[in-house]
Chains A and B, each alone.
Chain A
Amino acid sequence: MTQRDPQPHPAPDRHVEEILRSVEGEIPEPVVPLPRRSLDREERTVKEILLRMGSIIEERIRLTVEALETHDAEKALFVIRGDEEINALQVEAMDHVVLTIATQAPVARDLRYLLTLDRIGYELERIGDSVANVAKRAREVAPEPPLDGHVSLPEMGRLTAQFLAETMRAMTDADAAAAREVAVRDDEIDALYHRAVDRLTELAKASPGNVERAMRLLVAARYLERVGDHITNIAEDVVFLSSGRREDLNP
């Protein structure tokens, strides 16, 4: 802005207005930011559905770990059945995204935002699915005595639950740095997974009576490791959301 004219320019007089109208079709009006409330509301709605999904899934992970540790088949069954609820929420989120794109025709940031939220919803649904599968295994081993304290599975469970919570918080705050931190820590889950695999292999070789439990726990560990990968994907989506760049956070 030039410094020499601190006074605001006067509005154009009648003659100039007529000229402007005939040439431009309109007289100039000061530009004021304009909220798009319907669009903003829809974005909020989808985000809130995802947050609800996230918190439900986090809860379910903890329940699954409990079910495993306390041999509670009922709890495990509850988690298994509850997967439908998570699927329904994902469908709801997706429908909102489709509806919003169809009716509000978002572009630029709004469009990227909605499409990314849709992806996160998909990842969350996959996590829910994996958790249900872990619960199935927990239910299967419940009647039998624990195999070496279920190896590192409970710790994997607690970590994934924690990482999920942190990632969802990063999504809410659009905090790329926090998302990157969580993604890096996925290595811990991988390490625990490999430890579990080694230990379970060892146990299986040690005695045929262990084999069945070991196999089931191995499958459960695999699913928990997958949960970690999905969480990393969500973290990558959060980074894209906030920075507009696609980064591979855990090559």
Chain B
Amino acid sequence: MIEDARTPKGDPVTTDTQTPATREVRIGADAIEAGANRAIVEDMAALPSAVSLRDVNLYYGSFRAVRDVTIDIPKNRITAIIGPSGCGKSTLIRSINRMNDLIPSARVEGEMLFQGENVYADYVDPVEVRRRIGMVFQKPNPFPKSIHDNIAFGPRVNGARGNLDNLVESCLRRAAIWDEVKDKLGESGLALSGGQQQRLCIARAIATEPDMILMDEPCSSLDPRSTLQIEELMAELKEKYTIVIVTHNMQQAARASDFTVFLNMDDDRAGYVVEQGPTAQIFTNPTNQMTEDYVSGRFG
């Protein structure tokens, strides 16, 4: 069909605007049939996974908080986890980098594969996992140290020696905060505004050169401007890192993420995956009615 579209004079007049390799553009009758939605949406199955969860169940003591989760987090993309409050989103994300190990009654069943290896295998050191999978928390929590030491702390506890000024600068640049703090690296991290503190925490998280960054509602204590700023930052960061963000703000998930996982609570108050897919699809044409109701604000 495409051949017919070429004019006798030569190649059709086109301007290439799409990102390469992932867009499949159907021209001709196929497009109308298949619903041209397909033309703007990535094929999720074709992307490599950073983390795969298989039949994961998470417990606090005997209470099951999260039930039967099987999802793939695609590499170098932003995946949002949305759902009503208390449905287990934070529990889920914190189990990926084993932060929930700090809670004695927390228990994990199932497989959580990070680059092919089960994160909960016996030989795995959780400290090492947390070096490779960084975390940014809901309320910015910079250390009560200088801005420089905030960034340097992670590498140092993981064995880095000597002068870390270059690393500190590079992390602050990548977190889009260098210009604002370059003259006050010796000042306390707590003297910054909320949005700046959170960007500092992001810089801190990337200092250990992780493969993945988990963000647990990173913008919920920030004003709208700082929120947008951090979303733009995330879009830049995904080039190097895989990002998973938990958010109860649906609009943020719609704006900022490539893929969305919708978690809901069942009658036993355990969270389960209702639907997962490209954000474009979830917010324009979801397959599940419950998803449709949730994203259009009809419950939760």
* Known contacts A52-B15, A88-B26, A102-B284, then 4 further A-B pairs from the complex at CB < 8 Å, ordered by chain A residue: A29-B195, A59-B7, A92-B36, A99-B280
B124 an interface residue at 8 Å Cβ cutoff? no
Of A35, A87, A95, A105, most buried by chain B (CB within 10 Å of CB) is A95
Is there contact, CB below 8 Å, between B193 and A26? yes
Chain B residues closer than 8 Å to A36, beta-carbon distance: 228, 232
Is there contact, CB below 8 Å, between B13 and A56? yes
**Chain B: minimal CB distance from A182 (Å):** 21
A2 an interface residue at 8 Å Cβ cutoff? no
Is there contact, CB below 8 Å, between B251 and A105? yes
Chain B residues closer than 8 Å to A95, beta-carbon distance: 36-37, 39-40
Chain A residues 27-65 with CB under 8 Å of chain B are: 27, 29, 34-38, 44-45, 48-49, 51-52, 55-56, 59, 63
B29 an interface residue at 8 Å Cβ cutoff? yes
Dominant secondary structure at the B interface: helix
**Chain A: minimal CB distance from B239 (Å):** 13
B229 an interface residue at 8 Å Cβ cutoff? yes
Partner of B254, one of A48, A87, A98, A102: A102
The total number of A-B Cβ pairs within 8 Å is: 87
Is there contact, CB below 8 Å, between B13 and A59? yes
A87 to B18 CA separation, bound complex (whole angstroms):
19
Chain A residues 94-110 with CB under 8 Å of chain B are: 95-96, 98-99, 102-105
Partner of A105, one of B36, B225, B255: B255
A105 to B17 CA separation, bound complex (whole angstroms):
22
Given contacts A56-B13, A96-B40, contact A85 B279 (CB under 8 A): no
**Chain A: minimal CB distance from B262 (Å):** 15
B positions within 8 Å CB-CB of A: 4-5, 7-8, 12-15, 17-18, 25-29, 31-32, 36-37, 39-40, 191, 193-196, 223, 225, 228-229, 232, 235, 251, 254-256, 279-280, 283-284
Query: In the complex, what residue of chain A is closest to B296 when comparing beta carbons?
Result: A102
Query: In the complex, what residue of chain A is closest to B253 when comparing beta carbons?
Result: A103
Stretch of A76-84, A156-164, A201-209, A230-238 on the interface side: A76-84
Partner of B193, one of A27, A52, A56, A102: A27
5 A-B pairs with least C-beta separation: A88-B31, A103-B254, A91-B36, A102-B283, A48-B17
A175 an interface residue at 8 Å Cβ cutoff? no
Chain B residues closer than 8 Å to A69, beta-carbon distance: none
**Chain A: minimal CB distance from B254 (Å):** 4
Question: C-beta contact mask, A147-162 vs B, less than 8 Å → 1, else 0?
Answer: 0000000000000000
**Chain A: minimal CB distance from B257 (Å):** 9
Is there contact, CB below 8 Å, between B32 and A87? yes
Query: In the complex, what residue of chain B is closest to A55 when comparing beta carbons?
Result: B13
A17 an interface residue at 8 Å Cβ cutoff? yes
Chain B residues closer than 8 Å to A44, beta-carbon distance: 17
Question: C-beta contact mask, A87-130 vs B, less than 8 Å → 1, else 0?
Answer: 11001100110110011110000000000000000000000000
A51 to B14 CA separation, bound complex (whole angstroms):
9
Chain B residues closer than 8 Å to A82, beta-carbon distance: 4-5
Chain A residues closer than 8 Å to B283, beta-carbon distance: 99, 102-103
Is there contact, CB below 8 Å, between A85 and B17? no
Query: In the complex, what residue of chain B is closest to A101 when comparing beta carbons?
Result: B284
A-B CB contact pairs (8 Å), 12 listed = A17-B191, A26-B194, A29-B193, A34-B232, A37-B232, A52-B13, A59-B7, A84-B29, A88-B28, A91-B32, A96-B40, A104-B255
**Chain B: minimal CB distance from A157 (Å):** 16
Of B7, B26, B32, B229, most buried by chain A (CB within 10 Å of CB) is B7
Partner of B15, one of A51, A88, A91, A103: A51
A96 to B18 CA separation, bound complex (whole angstroms):
12
Chain B residues closer than 8 Å to A17, beta-carbon distance: 191
Chain A residues closer than 8 Å to B28, beta-carbon distance: 84-85, 88
A56 to B32 CA separation, bound complex (whole angstroms):
18
Of A34, A45, A51, A102, most buried by chain B (CB within 10 Å of CB) is A102
Partner of A99, one of B7, B18, B32, B40: B40
A96 to B13 CA separation, bound complex (whole angstroms):
20
Given contacts A48-B17, A87-B32, contact A103 B235 (CB under 8 A): no
